[in-house]
């Protein structure tokens, strides 16, 4: 067990340092990095994913590369432009509806991203469930204009019922993320016809094989996205994307770019807008460099013990 602590390049999802645990096994390393506010029950599927990876229990790939988007945090327009230009991707996912910011801030960011990508690139936005139905409808229209056409908008509202209502009122496709990975019933999105795209994240949903079952049953096009992992965790997302029968959209797996360091010899970073399908090699020097302080190690050891204690035997 190795606890890592890596600063972020930019505040993202409200955090400035990414922490987690690497677990070793017969098949290699797996990453367990549930966000700090998650309780033991929420963190349990994340552990199943790490254990699956450490056991080497991944399905065979059907492709050798996975197209990816560059992720743009809720930075100013100039910063967004620079991130996209440096990202090496033809698709950009832009965070919007950040607390303390305005729709005007979001429009400026999206316009800058469109300028950086050029007319042929794809722009998608992610509101993380921040809007109510009316605000979502108005904001989507404004951002669609700013982008010169959005590919889709991810999780505009928190409730699945609200997603369905928004989907009936806008022309931009709707993607569901939290409504799948944090829902008691991930298939309610399908049953209510609330989304056009399913966003799947391997750690929150319990691993690659669990996600493949959801993808088959939910009956929607799938985008595989990250939970802000190191390259060890990203490799599990890549394994899922590589095993899906169809992959019509770029995936949100290029987020190692948001970290200031990594735990492997060669990070999973996009080349020509895609990630290679491989398992990166953990680097002992990097493990030492990114090792958490003793108090944070104790925190993660206690969290891990709580999850293992509470789950069924």
Burial class (CB within 10 angstroms; exposed 0-12, middle 13-18, buried 19+) of 118: exposed
Separate counts of helices (H) and strands (E) for the chain = 12, 12
Q: How many other C-beta atoms lie within 10 A of the C-beta of residue 126?
A: 24
Active-site position among 93, 181, 190, 201: 201
144's tokens: 């669609």
**Known catalytic residue at 309:** no
Q: How many other C-beta atoms lie within 10 A of the C-beta of residue 254?
A: 27
Distance CA 96, CA 91 (A): 16
Active-site position among 95, 109, 181, 190: 95
Q: How many other C-beta atoms lie within 10 A of the C-beta of residue 48?
A: 20
Question: Which residues lie across from 67 on neighbouring strands?
Answer: 274
Question: Is 202 within 8 Å of 49 (Cβ atoms)?
Answer: yes
Distance CA 25, CA 1 (A): 10
Q: List CB contacts of 177: < 8 A, sequence separation 6 or more.
A: 126, 128, 154, 155, 199, 201, 225
Question: Is 147 within 8 Å of 115 (Cβ atoms)?
Answer: no
Of 249, 272, 276, the closest CA to residue 93 belongs to 249
SS3 7: strand
Chain mean position to CA 273: 16
List active site positions: 95, 201
């Amino acid at each position: 067990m190795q606890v890592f602590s890596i600063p972020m390049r930019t505040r993202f999802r409200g955090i400035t340092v990414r922490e987690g645990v690497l677990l070793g096994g017969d098949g290699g390393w797996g990453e367990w990095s549930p966000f700090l506010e998650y309780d033991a029950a929420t963190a349990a599927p994340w552990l199943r994913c790490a254990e699956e990876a450490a056991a080497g229990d991944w399905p065979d790939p059907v492709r050798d590369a996975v197209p990816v988007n560059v992720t743009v945090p809720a930075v100013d327009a100039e910063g967004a432009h620079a991130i996209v230009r440096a990202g090496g991707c033809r698709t950009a996912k832009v965070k919007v509806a950040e607390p303390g910011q305005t729709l005007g801030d979001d429009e400026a960011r999206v316009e800058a991203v469109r300028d950086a990508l050029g007319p042929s690139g794809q722009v998608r936005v992610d509101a993380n469930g921040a809007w109510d139905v009316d605000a979502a409808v108005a904001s989507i229209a404004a951002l669609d204009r700013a982008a010169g056409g959005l590919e889709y908008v991810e999780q505009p509202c928190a409730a699945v019922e609200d997603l369905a209502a928004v989907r009936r009122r806008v022309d931009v496709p709707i993607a569901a993320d939290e409504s799948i990975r944090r829902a008691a019933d991930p298939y309610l999105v399908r049953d209510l016809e609330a989304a056009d795209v399913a966003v799947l994240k391997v750690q929150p949903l319990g691993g690659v094989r669990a996600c493949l079952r959801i993808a088959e049953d939910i009956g929607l096009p799938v985008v595989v996205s990250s939970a802000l992992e190191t390259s060890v965790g990203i490799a599990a997302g890549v394994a899922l994307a590589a095993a899906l029968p169809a992959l019509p959209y770029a995936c949100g797996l290029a987020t190692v770019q948001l970290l200031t360091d990594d735990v492997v010899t060669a990070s999973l970073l996009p080349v020509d807008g895609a990630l290679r399908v491989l398992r990166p090699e953990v680097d002992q020097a990097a493990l030492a460099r990114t090792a958490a302080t003793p108090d944070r190690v104790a925190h993660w050891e206690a969290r891990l013990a709580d999850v293992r204690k509470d789950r069924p035997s």
